[in-house]
């Protein structure tokens, strides 16, 4: 973790080419609890894994939503000439800068191509013709 830049950069060390949202959450919680980081601002805000249902013995849960706070994920740069595909998976990943504005959660590095596998699509959409919470009207059943 590079704490000295803004946004902060969390680098996945080579030779790793894959990281899950759960791995990021676990690692960031550990980093935030270390003595050297206690007076630094939080790296993330995460939610999810709420129970939905059990069907045929399979437990269904909500996916993880990870919001990086003035932090971006990078994979360690690789040597040329070949590009290495790296993958972030297992949830939804967002990032906000120090002012709370949306930024790309991925920091590009040399000779890496990052694939981000989102786990779900939104269920509520606001603005641009979508349904907003303030426009919600209960369904009338006759």
In this predicted structure, the answer to whether residue 85 has a pLDDT above a threshold of 50 is: yes
For 23-66, what is each residue's pLDDT tens digit?
999 999 999 998 887 788 999 999 988 888 888 888 888 888 99
Asked whether the whole model's pTM tops 0.75, one would answer yes
What is the DSSP pairing of strand 112-117 with strand 84-89?
A: parallel
**pLDDT grade for 129, boundaries at 50, 70 and 90:** low
Q: C-alpha angle with apex 68: 64 to 73, nearest 5 degrees?
A: 100
Distance CA 30, CA 85 (A): 27
In this predicted structure, the answer to whether residue 108 has a pLDDT above a threshold of 80 is: yes
Question: Which whole-number Å values give the CA distances from 99 to 44, 46, 49, 68, 95, in the listed order?
Answer: 14, 19, 28, 13, 11
DSSP 53-121: EEETTEEEEPPEEEEEESEEEEEPP--SSS-EEEEEESEEEEEE-TTS-B--SB---TTEEEEEE----
Average pLDDT, the chain: 85
In this predicted structure, the answer to whether residue 117 has a pLDDT above a threshold of 90 is: no
Distance CA 59, CA 106 (A): 31
**pLDDT grade for 6, boundaries at 50, 70 and 90:** very high
């Amino acid at each position: 973790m590079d704490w000295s830049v803004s946004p902060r950069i969390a680098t996945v060390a080579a030779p790793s080419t894959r990281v899950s949202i759960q791995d990021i959450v676990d690692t960031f919680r550990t980093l935030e609890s270390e003595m050297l980081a206690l007076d630094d601002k939080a790296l993330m805000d995460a939610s999810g894994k709420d129970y939905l249902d059990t069907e045929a013995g399979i437990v269904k849960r909500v996916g993880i939503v990870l919001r990086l706070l003035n932090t971006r994920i990078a994979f360690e740069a690789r040597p040329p000439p070949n590009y290495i595909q790296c993958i972030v998976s297992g949830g939804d990943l967002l990032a906000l800068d120090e002012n709370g504005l949306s930024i790309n959660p991925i920091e590009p590095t040399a000779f890496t191509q990052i694939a981000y596998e989102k786990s779900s699509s939104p269920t509520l959409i606001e603005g641009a013709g979508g349904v907003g919470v303030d426009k919600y009207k209960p369904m009338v059943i006759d």
